[in-house]
Amino acid sequence: MKVSPEDPPVPGFASLGLAGPLVAAVAALGYEEPTPIQREAIPSLLEGRDLVAQAATGTGKTAAFALPLLDRLTREGGSRGPVAGSGARALVLVPTRELAMQVAEAVHKYAKGTRLAVVPLYGGAPMDQQVRALRRGAEIVVATPGRGLDHLRRGTLVLSALEVLILDEADEMLDMGFAEDIDAIVAKTPATRQTALFAATWAPRIAAIAGRHLTNPVRITIAREKRPAGKLPRVRQVAYIVSRAQKPAALGRVLDFEAPKSAIVFCRTRLEVDELTDTLNAHGYGAHALHGGMVQKQRDRVMQAFRAEQAEILVATDVAARGLDIEHVSHVINYDVPSAPEVYVHRIGRTGRIGREGVAITLAGPREHRFLRSVETLTRQPIEVLTLPTVADLRARRFEATRQALGAQLAEGGFDDMRTIVDALAQDFEVLDIAAAAVKMIHDASDKEMGAAPLEPEPRFEARPAPAKRPRSQASPRQLSESGDVALLRISGGRRAGVRPGDLVGAIAGEADVSSGVIGAITIADDHAVVEVPEGLVARITAALSATRIKGQKVSVRRITDGAASGPR
Ligand code: AMP
């Protein structure tokens, strides 16, 4: 279920003509197929053509230029590695310091497996550090125009052997007044270079800069599917602007507030699907992963559980969700902004079917506003940008739910039996207090029913603590309590073997063919794990796990007797 280095390469990327290590790098990142801009841009760039493309942040444009650039540098330069002081072979100009860091980091990720060095240059950081990095040899430089020009004038950046120039977010660079700096930088590069320009919007000044610096470019605009207004199902569309680090907590808040009956949460990559599913499950939400890296049998099982409404949350990639025909999805949540407006429309088509109201929620990054606007243009329907519900909002919402439930009960009647209790208590207490105490009891009970432990403080994906400190049976009382007594199983292989809660849930649910909802607290220690399972399933789960491998290793399973029930030490 996890993405591993043995995963087959992504055929979509391989068919674009990229070199093997690059195809492997994107597969390892969990990308299932190229985004529209990648599919269009990569082949032309690999042919060596100049290119102008209209693409905003969130479309996958960084990989669209970085992969062909890396392909070219590895093919032509071999793998000699950076040569000190030899000058840059590729230059990416970006408008801001943040983008310089972000693009350099992305290029570095895609360059894994090549020996190419990437250096970001931006203002507000010490010059000497950047100079040292350049002296060590940097084949790929990602720079803001101002700082780039500064280095060029000092002679610390040399562009006389430049092979590839990328103008990223060119419209924004022009808005920020960098036109002359860009011209001055380009003037220092050889005319033989390949040049690509990316902009989110088209304006005559973009055409002008393209005319000055590009030669017979291929022009790409990702075609917009024309969709008549009103064709979309009845879907309430909402977006929250949140940074990447806030996303897990924001999703938890949204899930708590919306309390969806059944939701699909879309992620971009397999890795993200796996990690998010683990995080959600560790906090007591019943989530199942669905992505192209899973074998068909696993996928079928997940789909079945979701269709049978046993799983509330399906976390999926677009590719895996493609053939999904599910009638009852109440919420579609875009954990990441999709790679194109059309993909958004496709995703939200999963909710609001057959006349039901659906809700589409997008967690967009601060730079992804523009994407939301282009979706609005495409669908001709508004997306409301809201602030995240606060804890007070959640509380108010739950109070309201309790009030409504009580109202319904009062209207229905049939509680005469209870009057004797009220009468008895009324000897000692005010009737209003008795009523308030009763309301508190049902409110607290339904709060627990709502289940999940809050996803705060923010879990960090990379270094998430073992979740079992908070037993899942406690976080989500619906699950284990229905299954009677629980037992603890000690399973060999722990944190050091790379075992994560999701691996155990996957192995138990998959191999013993039991619903993951029956699995309780999971504690991962260094060399083993302890899992809480229903007493009645101990034999079946033990037999199934003993016959399988987790993270490639055979495991031994034994039951822990009561004295050791406090878990691993
Ligand atoms: P960008 O538009 O370059 O800022 O990319 C937006 C996000 O999409 C980044 O987080 C990338 O890692 C991710 N991404 C880029 N290409 C793909 C792909 N083919 N499949 C899944 N995710 C992708």
Respond yes or no on whether the N-terminal peptide bond of residue 457 is cis (omega within 30° of 0): yes
Distance 29 CA to ligand 1 centre (A): 10
The residues of the chain that CATH labels 3.30.70.330 are: 472-564
pLDDT at residue 259, as a whole number: 85
| Nearest atom of ligand 1 to the alpha carbon of 31 | 20
What is the chain's Cα-based Rg?
28
Residue in 69, 268, 274 to alter for ligand 1 test, most ligand atoms within 8 A of Cβ:
268
Strands (E), 339-416: 358-364, 384-386
- What CATH number was assigned to the domain covering residues 235-389? 3.40.50.300
pLDDT at residue 152, as a whole number: 96
Helix (H, G, I), strand (E, B) or coil at 37: helix
Distance 7 CA to ligand 1 centre (A): 19
pLDDT digits (tens, 9 = 90+) for 91-134: 999 999 989 999 999 999 999 888 899 999 999 889 999 999 99
Distance 134 CA to ligand 1 centre (A): 28
How is domain 472-564 classified at the CATH fold level? Answer: Alpha-Beta Plaits (3.30.70)
Q: pTM (2 decimals)?
A: 0.64
CATH 3.40.50.150 fits 2-222, yes or no: no
| Nearest atom of ligand 1 to the alpha carbon of 102 | 4
- Give me the residues of the chain with pLDDT under 70, please: 1-11, 77-86, 222-233, 323, 325, 352-356, 447-484, 561-569
The residues of the chain that CATH labels 3.40.50.300 are: 2-222, 235-389
Distance 567 CA to ligand 1 centre (A): 40
For ligand 1, atom 11: residue with the closest CA: 60
For ligand 1, atom 18: residue with the closest CA: 31
Q: Please give all residues whose beta carbon lies within 6 A of any atom in ligand 1, as ranges.
A: 31, 34-35, 38, 57-63, 268-269
For ligand 1, atom 16: residue with the closest CA: 60
Q: Closest Cα to residue 465, out of 457, 475, 453, 473?
A: 457
DSSP structure string for 425-478: HHTTS-HHHHHHHHHHHHHHHHHHHT-PPP--SPPPSTTPPPGGGS-HHHH-HH
Taking the C-alpha atoms of residue 225 and residue 228, their distance in angstroms, rounded to an integer, is 10
Residue in 18, 31, 347 to alter for ligand 1 test, most ligand atoms within 8 A of Cβ:
31
For ligand 1, atom 14: residue with the closest CA: 60
